[in-house]
Structure 1
Amino acid sequence: MFKIGYRTVKTAVGAAAALFLAQALDLQFYSSAGILVILCVQNTKRKSLKVSLHRLGACLLSIVFSFVVFETIGYHALAIGLLILLFIPTAVMLRMEEGIVTSSVIVMHIYSLKTVTWPIVWNEVCILIIGIGIALLVNLYMPSVERELKRYQQLVEEYFKLLLHEMAVYLRSRESDWDGKEMIEAHELLHQAKALAFQKLENQFTREDDYYYRYFTMRIRQFEILERVMPLVASLSWTYEQSEMVAKFIESVGAAVRPESTGLISLQYLHELREQFRVMPLPTTREEFETRAMLLQLLSEMEQYLIIKSEFKGKHTYIQSV
């Protein structure tokens, strides 16, 4: 389906404005201002600013190289080759790779004029200021993704509740018709959410409001534990009293999945459960011993799961502490 994104609209408006302004000022090679806008408008404010500064620095550097090389050995093809041979490694060393293409355009402008004078340099600088300045200006607008991030958060928590519920069901009955597809869906959803949260972060010039990025990073760490735990649960082939106790605990963890939960109550529950295991009679059969050992391993994994949440600072708590 034909669709025009907001970045395309911004690029079109910015390029047209840059061309109009450069042409109105009667600048030579005014079309380059529009090209700069196209190259500098990026997906995020931070990236756009970074790319723009690199292009500006590389272009100014290319003017210096052009003056030195052309005025030393003349305006011919060999000089172009030598200039590129010297300029590109220098730009890469200075981490200005994004500006190499733009700088090459300026080099060709100077080469076609066969001289380097202050008016020519000023003309190129004006083109840079107009193109980069308008690109940064149009990139100030970024649509809010707050609602989308909240939706992702709700979906992630629903998946976590479901996964924990299915674990509890299997611990109780050793039977389940669950096909596990939600594990794959949750994995994809988490990484999509983190990418969107990172995009939001990159559209801020301060990192104080990084709640969603930290939140989805935390959930990914927890999900990695659930991925380890699922095969462990599936390997349990016997049901004992302790299995029911652990199932009840995991159900309580699932019920407590929400953004504001600290996990501390569940951690206390886990410690009490361990103490109950400690005072219970020792296993009498090999199967019971193996099951008890796997259940204790399961509790250790769940403890790490809860510690990750307990260390997570919520939105308001974090803002007050910075």
Structure 2
Amino acid sequence: MKYRIGYRTIKTAVGTSISIMIAQMLQLDNFVSAGILTILCIKVTKKKSLRASWDRFFACLLAMAFSSLFFEGIAYHPLVIGLLLLFFIPAAVMAKASDGIVTSSVIILHIYSAGEVSKDLLLNELGIIIVGIGVALIANLYMPSLESKLKEYRLEIEENFKVIFDEIVRYLRTHESSWDGREITETMEMIDEAKALAFRDVENHFRRDENLYYHYFKMREKQFEIIERVLPSVTSIALPVEQGEMIADFIEELSEHIHPGNTALLFLEKLYRMKVSFENMELPKTREEFEARAALLHFVKEMEQYLIIKSSFKGLKDKEMNQSGTGEAN
């Protein structure tokens, strides 16, 4: 694995140092705990960071309340810590703040070590919580744009679609192929990675619940499932027939229009006209010709679904694409 220092690592390192410095300047006891909170609250997305911060803040407040009740009400004894955790952990889980259990346990131990619950102690712990979480939230206000990476995925997936279509065209015309199918595996992996990245982009915007890039990659995923499905039937055609050449011409033209532009309806019309012309042709004379034409007809029906999926996807102009992160292609 390649050694690299990412932006999250930098934010964690700088944020931890700053939170400890601030806590130390405020003369808070156990000031290093602010650094621990910062480390735990810096996440890969803004929404995850906000959720983690809220979970830890609420869990720490809950821990302070439980500590006051158990230690002052029973005793400052190791067995009481176990008893406290026995009730505190289910309460934190029930409050959906389970991610804050570890950090709040540190607060519990601080109060136990102090030997008494006082106003100054609670304010000290509250100060540590606010500094640690606050610095993490400020650090996570900056998230690098994923636009260029998403666009890169889009271009690579479209290029692989083109390669696959070109190989289909080559086989329909020559019934020979030395293609190793590498693009099939690559495309599957790229679509999964691209969807995950697009979802991450949603998590970096508080006012956005969906990402047009994500819908774009979902559309490509559905189209790719069709491509995978038709490949075996195409490669099973052993007999050259006139319909095969017509379909090859159609797929060749289609492969040249895999770009951010909506031409799906145009190709659906061409596909319909081609199906009508097939119906007006002579019936097959041999079993081999019948099987070849049946396989080609199945392929045409699948390509119709491929184009219908595309036509239902919302197209965008170039300006909108740059702003929202997607475009339309066949």
What is the root-mean-square deviation of aligned Cα atoms in Å? 1.9
Q: In structure 2, the residue corresponding to 1:314 is in which secondary structure?
A: coil
Change (3 A) 1:59 1:276: same
Q: Distance in 1 between matches of 2:22 and 2:259?
A: 52
Per the TM alignment, residue 139 of structure 1 is displaced from its structure 2 partner at its CA by 1.0
Alignment of 1:1-322 (within 5 A): 2-207=3-208, 210-316=211-317
SS in structure 1 of the partner of residue 76 of structure 2: coil
What is the alpha-carbon distance in structure 1 between the residues aligned to residue 30 and residue 263 of structure 2? 60
Whether the 8 Å CA contact 1:54–1:99 is kept in 2: the answer is: yes
Q: Distance in 1 between matches of 2:104 and 2:227?
A: 50
Residue type of the partner of 2:94?
Answer: M
Instruction: Give 2:328's aligned residue.
Output: none
Q: Residue type of the partner of 1:278? A: E
1:2 deviates by 4.2
> Could you tell which deviates more after superposition, 283-292 or 106-115?
283-292
The answer to whether the 8 Å contact 2:195/2:214 transfers is: yes
Give the Å deviation of 1:41: 0.6
Mark the CA change 1:94 to 1:235 in structure 2 (over 3 Å): closer, same or farther: farther
**How far does residue 264 in structure 1 lie from its aligned partner after superposition?**
1.1
Q: Write the distance in 2 (CA, Å) between the matches of 1:118 and 1:294.
A: 81
Shift of 1:315: 4.0
Task: Render the CA deviation track for 1:250-292: whole Å, top value 9, x for unaligned.
Answer: 1122111112224111111111111112222222222222222
Deviates more, 1:301-310 or 1:143-152: 143-152
Unaligned 5+ runs, structure 1: none
How has the CA–CA distance of structure 1 residues 127 and 67 changed in structure 2, closer, same or farther, with 3 Å as cutoff?
A: same
The 1-side partners of 2:316 and 2:115 are apart by: 59
Measure, in 2, the Cα distance between the counterparts of 1:257 and 1:16. 49
Q: What's the CA shift string for 1:121-176, capped at 9, x where partnerless?
A: 22211111111111010111112222222222111111111111111111122111
Aligned partner of 1:33: which letter?
A
TM-score (ref. length: structure 2): 0.91
Q: TM-score, normalization: structure 1?
A: 0.93
Unaligned runs of 5+ in 2: 325-330
C-alpha spacing 1:315/1:140, structure 2 compared with 1 (3 Å):
farther
**Conserved in 2, the CA contact under 8 Å of 1:15 and 1:34?**
yes
CA distance in 1: counterparts of 2:255 and 2:81, whole angstroms: 66
Distance (whole Å) between structure 1 residues aligned to residue 315 and residue 113 of structure 2: 59
